[in-house]
Chains A and B, each alone.
Chain A
């Protein structure tokens, strides 16, 4: 039961929904916030990693003889000392702390030099000589298909294809047959990276012979904790991971990283604190960013614009390791059904290993690419069918609380209101298609998770936990494993507790992201924190409130459920004079119950899908966004300016509207960066001279992220649907608003100059090329020509809810034994019940 439904303490929100200064703001504007690299300890030594200069090679020999004698060098660590492999997903434990016999991309760590100063460590690292036996290098999905041997990894679905997916929901062929229009598009979304301004950094401090504390710039201290225990082969109870305030994550700090393990191991070995702070170039090698994805989308439409069937194929360039890639692969198809009704859907995907830094989750994890494909595709369909693109989207909205063809349980859907808001705000009806040559408007939509339904590793425990400590001071300490990465999660956590207890934010103290002291929260990824931590915080705070109410009620002789918690007091509803200050109320409770502490936890409801792969996509609910972009294109050069972005986001309920706006604006910014210029590009040298394969420009200068002069005006609307699945009705905002931005720009460019650039980023030379092709009477388009021939294997066939399916695959022996969608309550009991079914089919991923 959430607070606003509670009988106890019914009141208007004091904090929620109002702008308040974020709880970490003062520290951040005064320079007090301690990021990982700001930490320093007596006797601290410094690590520099020696990284591979070969893209794909067997290591013949590592020569440290010169380096180890250099001034200040304490030790040089090689891979064979830490042989246990690891990886974020249980299905891809393919990383090594330091390469033992093989390197898979330029930047793959081979050795770690630890010295008294970073200067000394760097000098010695340059003196470590590595002898390689070079192997053929793979730079794309096409090359991976062409060169199955030698394999980059000795596991995976076949050759250098890491993962293949083939799923079919409903009567796809029938849908196409009944269609009035069948449209096909081949589009490419280039890879890009997070580029947080803070470079990764970790410091380890030995606490005892077998105890270690790691401070790190990580979004996921819990997962780092697990990996350290695994690789260091220490009990998890001897390892403490503290996530410092993270200087920008965007998904780039959600994997456990080599340098984190290295410093932890070396600190224990040398008995002194050890730090590693990466250079900007190394951050590019950590990567885990947006996969380059080539896509083929084919959709059947009725003449009124409804989608009857869709077949989506995606090919992901995964880089050198698994990372979250299996999940990313599923995500390139999973959320395609969440915005518009799609009765029949076929999805095929393949992820290739390539000799580049590993790709992984970046803001929108795996979904911006197919969203781009879908929304540009819809724009083209609307034009072919003579329907206004905004109108076509409105006609086909997925119904709230429905279950999609691929068995996702949707929650509230404010997408219609979002579209109406941006249509009205942008003057769409008066201006779309009618602006002077060179000016154009484009619309697109998106949807995103409010937390992945399943944890990374299969378990029966809460995904989020919160603990409260209250005492006679009147202060409330909140303990939670969540990690503040700039998105404002500390502020959400503190505000929810303060709201439920009716106290000021100043009386709430946070202790977060410390695996020794705080209950587990899985971390800041998949837009899960507001919803999951929020629910856990509500539960913990309500439990505390109930205890206090009981004690105060007894003392004042008032029924507990007549008490209101507000303005730092606990008082009788209708008679504010009859009550106690909050600190006195806590004293009453402490006297009555002894030392006060409460807990809250949250597990998402079980999703209805039961087929293999159904684990990726479910979420307690989904956020929705619509955007209209206005652009001005210069037909002489192909250069364009984004003039204005109107964006409306279904936030459920804004906990703090100012912070919500910040997330929307940041998402629009990052989306525009990807649409206009950002790309993780690689260099090949002429084959006859070299097999090198290097990052083209691992620098802040040459990796183009937009600056102050490159941002348009943004108008943001908040749509509040008060989702029953979110705490106080709240949904996510950190990732969803990025999704529509990229296709909206492509669609706006079409409206401006009539050309399609089916490729991201939309470089001016592509616009010019499409314009010139059009002028020559050819198709006014720039983009990929064809999708490669990939054998995705036999599809798993799943009947849709509409067909009366039960969420299982047709060949699942358990099919239809347990029909219906089942319980979707989020309690531990329901969860236990569900787990008893031992669903072996679900993949456990982000």
Chain B
């Protein structure tokens, strides 16, 4: 049986205690544990002490605060999907969360955890012994990124399904640290680097996700398409999250499209072509081409990388057609949004 290395475990009941405990290199924060524990079992993440956020009250739940919907960071992914208001108002977010992993992992995993989930790579998410046999990699203990050996950076890919859609919806997150708290747009939470992928201090804790009312179903059309091998369990090898705002004449006033899993962070697609006119096949084709341009799928996950690149275009096209009410010409992802 593959087991965790010995560690110390703390689960304080006050947020300040959690913040205070996050000092030193040998300490890590855990919420649902569905990312950290496997990583520690394979020994590519390590910690002498693990501090849990789960005993802190008040970080769980979904509520309306002013014009924003606020989701506590330790709200389980299952609870997010089961929230009827959220499903009605933010259907693409519900769809994205419902596509994360599998039901048991969604009842353990949290929304905050999914936003902070480690980047992934098939050269990295391997046991200590396996990584030793390739002399390790840049992300952990090694000196070469095996995905792109001439590159100075790490190309592990973003693995969060909630991140691209929350970026597209203009959501913000609350970060709490030793020097107080701050609100940051989700788009500013990420950096396109496989190692240093989060723009937050290690001791800062993501405590809330805030989604503006202007992004809900009454004001905005959104879609989420996820590409993966199987109808469950698998991480995305590509996801397309799109949100489009229109005026009374159906002209697009604002749009945001983010691609997941084809870069080390959610990748923004250039949407300028869409602005100022009603969505049309022609504009969608052009935007889908932009998606293809910025997607950098590499051979570090399932499926042929070149095909994933093509699919970035096909899926962006499909997601925008779905929003525009135009016929979607490619088969939709196999999974639906089934609440269980």
Q: Indicate if the CB atoms of A707 and B149 lie closer than 8 Å.
A: no
A590 within 8 A of B: no
Q: Are A698 and B130 in contact (CB under 8 A)?
A: yes
Task: For chain B, residues 130 to 162, give those with C-beta under 8 angstroms from any C-beta of chain A.
Answer: 130, 132-135, 144, 146, 149
CA distance A446 to B1 in the complex (A): 39
Could you tell me if B129 and A53 are in contact, using CB atoms closer than 8 angstroms?
A: yes
Whole-angstrom CA separation of A709 from B98 in the bound complex = 14
Say yes or no: A51 contacts B134, CB within 8 Å.
no
Partner of A634, one of B128, B146, B331: B331
| B339 contacts partner chain A, Cβ-Cβ < 8 Å | no
- Which residues of chain B are near A765, meaning CB under 8 Å? 303-304, 306-307
Q: B230 to A709, Cβ gap below 8 A?
A: yes
Contacting chain A: which of B46-54, B163-171, B231-239, B245-253?
B231-239
CB–CB A694/B232 < 8 A: no
| Total interface residues in chain B, CB < 8 Å | 41
Inter-chain contact A639/B331, CB cutoff 8 Å: yes
Say yes or no: A280-B231 contact (C-beta < 8 A), given A634-B331, A636-B330, A694-B134. no
Which of B5, B130, B335 sits near A709, CB closer than 8 Å? B335
Contact segment of A399-407, A661-669, A685-693, A820-828: A685-693
Residues of A within 8 A of B5 (CB): 123
Tell whether, in the assembled complex, residue A637 and residue B331 are in contact, meaning their CB atoms are under 8 Å apart.
Answer: yes
* Interface residues of A, dominant DSSP: loop
Closest approach, in angstroms, between the C-beta of A80 and any C-beta of chain B?
Answer: 22
Contact call A118/B303, Cβ cutoff below 8 A: no
Residue B325 at the chain A interface, CB threshold 8 Å? no
A634 contacts B2, CB within 8 Å?
no
Chain A nearest CB from B305 CB (Å) reads 10
Per-residue interface assignment for chain B, residues 272 to 313, with 1 indicating a CB less than 8 Å from any chain A CB and 0 otherwise: 000000000000000000000000000000111011001100
A707 touches B331 (CB 8 A): no
The complex places the Cα of A508 from the Cα of B314 at a distance, in Å, of 61
Whether the Cβ atoms of A709 and B232 lie closer than 8 Å is yes
Residue among B1, B231, B304, B330 making CB contact with A637, cutoff 8 Å: B330
Choose from B3, B43, B129 the contact partner of A118 (Cβ within 8 Å). B3
- The docked-state distance in angstroms from the alpha carbon of A96 to that of B126 is 26
A697 touches B330 (CB 8 A): no
Q: Does A554 contact B (CB under 8 A)?
A: no
Contact between B144 and A689 (Cβ–Cβ < 8 Å)? Answer: yes
Give the Cβ gap from A129 to chain B, nearest Cβ, in Å.
10
Interface 1/0 per residue, A695-727 and B, CB below 8 Å: 111110110101111100000000000000000
B residues in contact with A699, CB < 8 Å: 125
Q: Are the CB atoms of A119 and B234 closer together than 8 Å?
A: no
In-complex Cβ contact of B2 among A280, A677, A707 (8 A)? A280
Which residues in chain A, 33-86, are within 8 Å of chain B measured between CB atoms? 37, 51-55
Chain B residue numbers with a CB within 8 Å of A708 are: 231-232
Interface check B13, CB cutoff 8 A = no
A701-B314 CB under 8 A given contacts A694-B130, A709-B334: no
Q: Which parts of A74-111 form the interface with B (CB within 8 Å)?
A: 106
Chain B residues, CB < 8 A from A704: 229-230, 234, 302
Q: Which of A52, A199, A638 has the most CB of B within 10 A?
A: A638
* Assembled-state Cα–Cα distance A341/B129 (Å): 52
Interchain CB contact under 8 A, A53 and B1: no
Q: Is A122 an interface residue (CB 8 A)?
A: yes
A281 at interface by CB-CB < 8 Å:
yes
Which residues of the other chain, B, contact A763 by a CB distance below 8 angstroms? 303-304, 307
Interface 0/1 of A636-667, CB less than 8 Å to B? 11110100000000000000000000000000
Q: Which of A637, A683, A710 has the most CB of B within 10 A?
A: A637
Chain B residue at smallest Cβ distance from A54: B133
- The answer to whether A764 and B132 touch across the interface, beta carbons within 8 angstroms, is no
**A701 CA to B302 CA, complexed, in Å:** 10
A277 adjacent to chain B (CB < 8 Å): yes
Minimum distance in angstroms from A635 CB to a CB of chain B: 8
In the complex, the answer to whether B135 meets A696 with C-beta atoms within 8 Å is no
Closest to A705 in B: B230
**Of B130, B304, B330, which is in contact with the most chain A CB atoms at under 10 Å from its CB?**
B130
Residue in chain B with minimal CB distance to A704: B229
Question: Chain B, 229-273, contact with A by CB distance < 8 Å: what is the 0/1 string?
Answer: 111111100000000000000000000000000000000000000
Bound CA span A427–B235, Å: 38
CA gap between A37 and B125 in the complex, in Å: 26
CB distance from B275 to the nearest CB of A (A): 26
A636 with B329: CB separation less than 8 A: yes
A178 sits at the interface (CB 8 A):
no
Instruction: State the CA gap A697–B307 with chains docked (Å).
Output: 19
B127 within 8 Å of A (CB atoms): yes
A279 touching B229, Cβ below 8 Å = no
CB distance from A54 to the nearest CB of B (A): 7
Contacts of A692 in B (CB 8 A): 133-135
Contacts of B232 in A (CB 8 A): 707-709
Interfacial chain B residues near A51, Cβ < 8 Å: 129
Does B122 count as interface, using CB distance less than 8 angstroms?
A: yes
Alpha-carbon distance between A53 and B1 when the two chains are bound, in angstroms? 20
Q: Which A residues are CB-close (under 8 A) to B1?
A: 37, 118, 199, 277, 279
**For residue A556, which residues in chain B have a CB less than 8 angstroms away from its CB?**
none
In angstroms, Cα B234 to Cα A119, docked, is 29
Contact B307 A764 (CB under 8 A): yes
Task: Report A258-288 CB contacts with B as 1/0, cut-off 8 Å.
Answer: 0000000000000000000101110000000
| C-alpha gap A707/B334 in the complex (Å) | 12
CA–CA, A674 and B129, complex, Å = 28
State in angstroms the CA–CA spacing of A106 and B131 once bound together. 11
Q: For the complex, is B6 an interface residue (Cβ under 8 Å from A)?
A: yes
Nearest CB in chain A: distance from B261 CB, A = 14
Given contacts A277-B1, A637-B331, A641-B334, contact A768 B231 (CB under 8 A): no
Candidates A55, A122, A281, A686; contact of B149 at CB < 8 Å: A686
B122 touches A696 (CB 8 A): yes
A424 CB–B CB distance under 8 Å: no
List chain B residues, Cβ under 8 A from A197. Answer: none
Q: Which residues of B contact A686 (CB under 8 A)?
A: 149
Chain A residues with CB under 8 A of B129: 51, 53, 126, 281
Give Cα A315 to B306, complex, Å.
29
Q: How far, in whole Å, are A683 and B123 apart by their CA atoms in the complex? A: 9
State which residues 331-346 of A face B: CB under 8 Å. Answer: none
Interfacial chain B residues near A53, Cβ < 8 Å:
129-130, 132-133
Q: Assess the A689–B149 pair: CB atoms within 8 A.
A: yes
A685-B146, A704-B302, A765-B303 known; A637+B314 contact, CB < 8 A: yes
In whole angstroms, what is the CA distance A677 to B122 when docked? Answer: 17
Tell me the complex Cα distance, A728–B311, Å. Answer: 55
Contact with B along A15-47 (1 / 0, CB 8 A): 000000000000000000000010000000000
* Complex Cα spacing A697 to B149, Å: 20
Task: Give Cα A123–Cα B126 distance, bound, in whole angstroms.
Answer: 17
Contact indicator A641/B133 (Cβ below 8 Å):
no
Instruction: Give me 30 A-to-B residue pairs in the complex whose CB atoms sit less than 8 angstroms apart, sorted by A's number.
Output: A55-B133, A123-B5, A126-B43, A126-B128, A126-B129, A632-B331, A634-B330, A636-B314, A636-B329, A636-B330, A641-B331, A683-B134, A689-B144, A692-B133, A692-B135, A694-B130, A696-B122, A697-B122, A698-B126, A699-B125, A704-B302, A706-B230, A708-B232, A709-B335, A710-B230, A763-B303, A763-B304, A764-B303, A764-B307, A765-B306
Taking A51-B129, A53-B129, A118-B3 as given, write out 18 further A-B residue pairs in contact, using a Cβ cutoff of 8 Å, ordered by the A residue number.
A53-B130, A106-B133, A118-B1, A119-B6, A122-B3, A280-B2, A281-B2, A281-B130, A632-B331, A637-B314, A639-B331, A641-B334, A677-B230, A690-B134, A704-B230, A709-B334, A709-B335, A765-B303
**Which A residues form the contact surface with B (CB < 8 A)?**
37, 51-55, 106, 118-119, 122-123, 126, 199, 277, 279-281, 632, 634, 636-639, 641, 677, 683, 685-686, 689-690, 692, 694-699, 701-702, 704, 706-710, 763-765, 768
Chain B residues packing against A (C-beta within 8 Å): 1-3, 5-6, 43, 122-123, 125-130, 132-135, 144, 146, 149, 229-235, 302-304, 306-307, 310-311, 314, 329-331, 334-335
Task: Give the 3 A-B residue pairs with the shortest CB-CB distance, closest first.
Answer: A709-B231, A765-B307, A636-B330
